[in-house]
Structure 1
Amino acid sequence: MSKSFVSPVGFADARQGLAHLFVRGLTIEAEIGVWAHEKGRRQIVRLDIDLAVDDPRSAGDDHGKVVCYEWASNEARAVVATGHFNLVERLAEEIADRLLSDPRVHAVRIRVEKPGAIRGADAAGIEIVRLGVTSLDVRP
């Protein structure tokens, strides 16, 4: 399937009542990779997580009324702990699905990097954007 353009997703938008929650550079040991030397051992993956969430203004200072970045990190760790992933693409999709299960999360951007996967590069990986079922018009 050919795409003629890429439309960026805006994660914070006051008109739609959205805030941008993020986690940068979360490192987790994961069982990941398709090559024989990657099987049966753990290696570091680095995650960036971006969430378009309900605007937290109505929560005041009540932690229980907001989407928490610690929750997002723990959900990503829980997905990684489920077992071996051949592809960074599948890991990214499963993390996105898990985070979108909270109805206050309207869109996710997940970047999964494998540091040192390519000689001469800091990292290689994938970045995906997925929208939740609430179908907000999420754009810049």
Structure 2
Amino acid sequence: MAEYTTILDDLDVSMRLGIHPHEQVPQRVRLSVEMTVAYPAPVSQDSIDQVLDYDFVREGVRQLASGPGFALQETLVEAVAALCLSDPRVTAVRVRSMKLDVYPDAKVSCAITRRRPAATSTDTWV
């Protein structure tokens, strides 16, 4: 087995995110995603068919951003993590969101790491 880390870094989107009245209009949010991707063997062919195409993550995040929005960064990063883990080759994902303009003197972030549950054996040893 071969593991690679595929990173989509600093993707800026405009979306509704927050609980305050001034956050009911779209604001700038930056997302970074690191996925641990497992393949049966090291990649030996220079072909996108051999690896995870990270376009699905970028497009999925953009689709989430264009929806009704999220009250909490925590639910946003959970949704992005679930999107990434929908590809069975992704064994772990770290997602970070950052509200860039919520305060004039600071940015506010939330980050999580999620791992695919380990397969459980159904074999019975006698």
TM-score band, normalised by the shorter chain? 0.7 to 0.9
Return the alpha-carbon distance in structure 2 between the equivalents of residues 111 and 43 of structure 1: 16
Choose from 85, 88, 91 the match for 2:70: 85
Q: Secondary structure at the match of 2:42?
A: helix
2:42 alignment partner, one of 47, 57, 62: 57
Q: Which runs of 5+ in 2 are unaligned?
A: 120-126
Q: CA deviation at 1:108?
A: 0.5
Q: What percent of counterpart residues are identical?
A: 28
Alignment partner, residue 11 of structure 1? none
Please point out which of 104, 125, 138 is paired with 2:89: 104
2:124 equivalent in structure 1: none
Distance 1:59 1:71 in 2: 22
Query: Is this contact kept in 2: 1:103–1:134, CA < 8 A?
Result: no
Do the aligned residues in 1 keep the contact of 2:33 with 2:93 (CA within 8 Å)?
yes
* Local SS of the residue matching 2:30: strand
Partner of 1:44: 28
Q: Does 1:125 align with 2:109?
A: yes
Aligned residues: 118
Q: CA shift at 1:124, angstroms?
A: 0.7
Deviation track 1:109-132 (CA, whole Å, cap 9, x = no partner) reads 0000001223312x1110000011
Partner Cα distance (1:58, 1:134) in 2: 23
What is the SS of the residue equivalent to 1:46? Answer: strand
Alpha-carbon contact 1:112-1:127 (below 8 Å) kept: yes
Q: Between Structure 1 and Structure 2, whose CA radius of gyration is higher?
A: 2
The one-letter code matched in structure 2 to 1:49 is: V
Q: Take 1:118 and 1:22, find their aligned partners in 2: how far apart are those partners? A: 27
CA contact (8 A) 1:18 1:53 kept: yes
